[in-house]
Amino acid sequence: MDIANYSKTRITASELNNESYVGVDNLLQNKQGKTVSSYVPTTGKLTRYEVGDILLGNIRPYLKKIWYATNIGGTNGDVLVVRINEKEKDINPKFLYHLLASDDFFNYSMQFAKGAKMPRGDKSAIMKYRIPIPEIAEQERIISILNKFDTLVGDISMGLPAELTARRSQYEYYRGKLLTFEQYVN
């Protein structure tokens, strides 16, 4: 990946909060993004991420922890911050995110992971991952399609539990109405 590098910029811990700090613990498995952090460091300098950067959990790559940054913040050494090079104009950051969120990428990363119990991705091998770079218009088309699928999957996983709860409530209501009878007299 000559098109991107790891972030070398720093941010102080005092600039972070539970929304802007991302540790490997609040990156969600299976490419589900991130959640609010329950821990925020209070001292030191951390790796800064910016809007459009891609954050990868580097411990146990098979967990497929990845997030496309929508704000500025900081992270620790267990999370890799991939940033497209400033001079690179041939790739959309969201397109790169979709490539790195693929099972092919995570399988590739696991081939080079080191360690048995808590394997870590090999940072240099990750940067050697080869990616196709179609024309920007084609990247935009692909992004549009994949974003629609992401939205659909997100809506189903969030909406389905609420729909099930509503249907159970509806069932209880109608069961109560349908099974209520006037007393029969012999």
CATH of the domain at 28: 3.90.220.20
Alpha helices in 115-135 (DSSP H): 123-127
| Residue 101 belongs to domain spanning | 4-132
Q: Coil, strand or helix: which one is 108? A: helix
* Model pLDDT, residue 32: 87
Per-residue model confidence (pLDDT) at position 112:
92
Asked whether residue 31 falls in the same domain as residue 117, the answer is yes
pLDDT for 182: 65
Q: What pTM did the predictor assign?
A: 0.81
Contact 38, 18 (CB under 8 A): yes
The answer to whether residues 49 and 72 touch, using CB atoms and an 8 Å cutoff, is: yes
Please indicate, yes or no, if residue 185 is contained in any of the structural domains: no
72-126 pLDDT, tens per residue?
999 999 999 999 998 888 999 999 999 999 999 999 999 999 988 889 999 999 9
Confirm whether 167 is domain-assigned: yes
Q: Is residue 84 part of a domain?
A: yes
- Please write the tens of the pLDDT for every residue from 22-41: 999 999 998 889 999 999 99
Spatial neighbors of 25 by CB under 8 A, at least 6 apart, are 37, 38, 39
Same-domain pairing of 83 and 13:
yes
Identify whether 186 is part of a domain: no
Q: Do 56 and 114 lie in a common domain?
A: yes
The rounded mean pLDDT for the chain is 88
Share of the chain above pLDDT 90, in %: 68
Q: Are residues 144 and 106 in the same domain?
A: no
Backbone Cα Rg of the chain: 23
